Amino acid sequence: MHRRVSASGRPSGTDGSDFSYRMVVESRYQKVARAKSILRSFFLVQAITLLLGLFLLLFRSASNDLALRGIEIATMACGLISLMIGELGRKRSRVNLLRLFMVASSIVVSFFIYCSIQKYSGFMASKRPSYWEIVLELPEVILAVVGLVFHVFIISYTFHLIANMSISKRAS
């Protein structure tokens, strides 16, 4: 038998008049897919930011005492672990993992901001820093600010994703 191949891209056997019987994807599923793809990009940027910060801390700690920077290194490692939890929740559409990610990453970011403020206030109080000391501290400050901004976006999109993933409760 010879199969008919449609030139217009329509499936064979239809004339296009059956469009009203086809299923339509509910808008919340489209919103979930969009939020998941945006979150993937944000997770990637946040992971790069954390890895760069970890690299900078390890590089600067090679010349100084590693024990002084140990808390910051552990905080960044916990941030990477929370990102892995968030990515797993995003991929598998697990609301509980996404909620755990939001709580853990918020604690990590809060603790990292606290450590940065403590370090900066101690740095400024101990001596008058030179131009080169400020230039060497600048990448860490920039990474902390970028990480905080992306964290705010990540949390808002995660809330949006969870709200669209939850079953709508309509009055019966």
* 71-96 average pLDDT score: 92
Helix, strand, or coil here: 128?
Answer: coil
Confidence of residue 172 (pLDDT cuts 50, 70, 90): very low
Task: Write phi, then psi, for 95 (nearest 5 degrees).
Answer: -65, -40
Q: What is the pLDDT of residues 115-168, one digit of tens each?
A: 777 777 766 666 676 777 667 777 777 888 888 898 999 999 999 999 988 776
What is the model's pLDDT at position 106?
93
**Better-predicted residue by pLDDT, 64 or 75:** 75
Residues near 168 by beta carbon (within 8 Å), at least 6 away in sequence: 28
What is the model's pLDDT at position 143?
83
What is the model's pLDDT at position 171?
44
Tell me the domain boundaries of the chain.
Answer: 27-162
**Better-predicted residue by pLDDT, 103 or 12:** 103
* 98-107 average pLDDT score: 95
Residue-wise over 133-160: b if at least 16 C-beta within 10 A, else e?
eeeebeebeebbebbeebbeebbebbeb
Confidence of residue 96 (pLDDT cuts 50, 70, 90): very high
What is the model's pLDDT at position 87?
96
Q: What is the pLDDT of residues 13-69, one digit of tens each?
A: 666 666 666 666 678 888 899 999 999 999 999 999 999 988 888 877 666 666 667
Contact between residue 133 and residue 119 where contact means Cβ atoms under 8 Å apart? no
